[in-house]
A and B are shown apart, each in its own frame.
Chain A
Amino acid sequence: MALPLHVDVALTHLMGRKRQTLVSVTGAALGVGFFIAMAALMQGFQAFFIATVVDVAPHITISDEFREPARQPAVAAFPDGAVAVRGVKPQDERRGIKRGFAIIDALEEMPGVLVAPSLQGQVFLRYGATERNAALVGIDPRRELAITRLEKDMVAGSLLDLETRPDGVVMGVALAKRLGAATGDRLTAISPAGVLRRVTVVGLYRTGVTAFDDGMAFMLLKQAQILQDRANVINRIRLRLDDVDSARSIAARIEARFAYKAESWQEANEGIFNAFVIQNAIMYSTVGAIMVVAAFGIFNIISTVVFEKGRDIAILKSLGFAEADIRRIFLIEGVLVGVVGALLGWAIGYALVAALASVRFDLGGGQGAIQNDRFYLAYSITHYLIGAAFSITAASFAAWLPARRAARLNPVEIIRGAA
């Protein structure tokens, strides 16, 4: 008897139709449960992906490119004039970041920023009769250790081995496998500049990101400069930040200051993050669809109760219940279904996530952008709260129409009809 009167009457109505109530509650619960499981799955994967990318790749890469094509002197000289320059031939200049080491010194003044120079260029790697194209990155091993987590992905050797082996090269396991090479094997590297050098595999790594494992190799910066015939040139400055999320704004500041294109990790992976947005939209629309179906179930049971309990409504009105009271009773019925559905949905969601967490599968290795053997799941109270909000909102909307109809019932007509 401790329940408030409106809740008491609402509960009595629902308990009078146990089976139908159960169906409505189950509908809402399934919606909430699936949402929690899907959200854990998708956001878990997204978080895993981001963590991997953030770990492996630098947070900001400054390259020797400009977003705007160079302005022609004629255009610069007559900024207000109608100048059209046709048939522009690019100047044959030595490519690379000019005064790169000065930029590095300036960047190192910034707090929470680690900087490493590199020279990246395409080379052919040849081992016996096998030839593979790879992006060869010339690095300073000690600085490189500071800006990526590549070292923890090493399966053989170390980046520091490059210091002791001037002809050393470190590459991804997938690339080595394709070449048929193992640690200690001597390969031939040929650059577009036409330089040919013998190199030795001193280390192998596996990050799980195919672009890294299958298409990249690292060697000493000096050696790379010789191979590319670009002495003292660097064309990438790579940064690692203490605050990963500030990459976008810091990149914008760097670009404003030095004019070179500075790409944050978010920008570099924009295509994938756009796919994530679409993925999330699909998830929310699927759950929305389940909830619409659940809402119809709730609408159905409350309409039925209003239809069957016309006499009770007339009694309550004759006893002095106002329209608002009647409306509240039936809204409470909807909300009760929504709340119980949400609670049950939490249990279903929790169970589904636990089941997903125990699944292991074998992708055969090497396929897909990222390799893994399990679902990466995000555990977040937010998913539970959003699921519950979905359920209760849908239930309230579904209850609104029948509740309004109940409130407007004319008691005199019903009493006359019964007499």
Chain B
Amino acid sequence: MNAPPLVQAKGLTRVLPGVVPVTLVRDVDLSIAAGEFVAITGPSGSGKSSLLYLLGLLDRPTAGSVWLEGRDTAELDAAELAYLRLARLGFVFQFHFLLPEFTALGNVLIPMRKLAALPERAMRARALELLDRLGLADQAGKRPDQLSGGQRQRVAIARALANGPRLILADEPTGNLDTRNAQGVFDIFASLARESGTAVVTVTHDEHLAAQTHRRVVLVDGRVVDGA
């Protein structure tokens, strides 16, 4: 029997409660293997980001569940989910979402310091190595407002990689970047998936970029219509 998939969504449904309840994600079954590079596409409001937050354990489903590395996360409490996000997952958002008062290096260090698995010296070395890998070696001491949009997004990717995640979740990571920087981000994702076996799930509505991934999952009205 094969090893379980890295992430598996089973009958995932998310309803926003309210006077008129809104169904964001409807009965989604999806499984993603290690090292896979997957694009989630679909029209605006089709629930792409909502699905990503559910897969990233940032939001809890109304029904169904997310299995991470063969484990049902529905049974875990908030603190355990937070720990999984810290140790196993990495987020990259459309806006860079760096902490403005911390330097590029400081931002990359935060998840490592929280996990505290390495001695301080090793954390620094690893953070600098990550920044170097993303072509930011000389920007380590700068604060986010001193960096360009592309640089910030690469710092955010370095931060997402800080604790060696099994899965990177990116929410329109190229939405604010020009073509060249956008291509750069996708190249990084592709090499991550290829070289370190990290799975990458990215929401995008750039057809050209989506075409470079291994698989496209198309959502319409919260339902997977293609690619599951």
Contacts and interface: CB of A to CB of B under 8 A. Distances in A.
A323 B93 CA distance: 21
B6 interface: no
Nearest to B93: A415
A232 interface: no
A186 interface: no
Contacts of A312: 99-100
A419 B93 contact: yes
Contacts of A419: 49, 93-95, 171-172
A318 B99 contact: no
Interface string A314-355: 111111111111000000000000000000000000000000
Nearest to B77: A322
Contact of A318 (B49, B85, B109): B85
A5 B101 contact: no
Nearest to B98: A315
Contact of A321 (B56, B82, B94, B97): B82
B111 A412 contact: no
A318 B111 CA distance: 10
Given A411-B58, A412-B59, A419-B49, A319 B159 contact: yes
Contacts of A324: 79
B101 A322 contact: no
Contacts of B84: 320
B155 to A, nearest CB: 12
Contacts of A16: 101
Interface string B71-104: 0000000110011111101010111011111100
Contacts of A275: none
Contacts of A411: 58
A12 interface: yes
Contacts of B78: 322-323
Interface in B125-145: none
A15 to B, nearest CB: 8
A168 to B, nearest CB: 84
B59 A319 contact: no
Given A317-B82, A318-B58, A5 B110 contact: yes
A177 interface: no
Nearest to A315: B97
B113 A5 contact: yes
B53 interface: yes
Interface string B190-228: 000000000000000000000000000000000000000
Contacts of A320: 82-87, 89, 111, 114-115
Nearest to A314: B97
A1 B105 CA distance: 11
Contacts of B83: 320, 322
Contacts of A106: none
A405 B197 CA distance: 39
Contacts of B124: 1
B120 interface: yes
Nearest to B88: A320
B97 A311 contact: yes
A418 interface: yes
A416 interface: yes
Interface string A123-137: 000000000000000
Contacts of A322: 78-79, 82-83
A370 to B, nearest CB: 58
B152 to A, nearest CB: 13
Interface of B: 49, 53, 56, 58-59, 78-79, 82-87, 89, 91, 93-95, 97-102, 109-111, 113-115, 120, 124, 159, 171-172
13 contacts: A1-B120, A15-B101, A315-B97, A315-B99, A316-B99, A319-B86, A320-B115, A321-B114, A322-B79, A322-B83, A324-B79, A415-B58, A418-B95
Given A1-B109, A320-B82, 17 more contacts: A315-B98, A317-B58, A318-B56, A318-B93, A319-B110, A319-B111, A320-B86, A320-B115, A321-B114, A322-B79, A323-B78, A323-B82, A412-B59, A415-B53, A416-B49, A419-B95, A419-B171
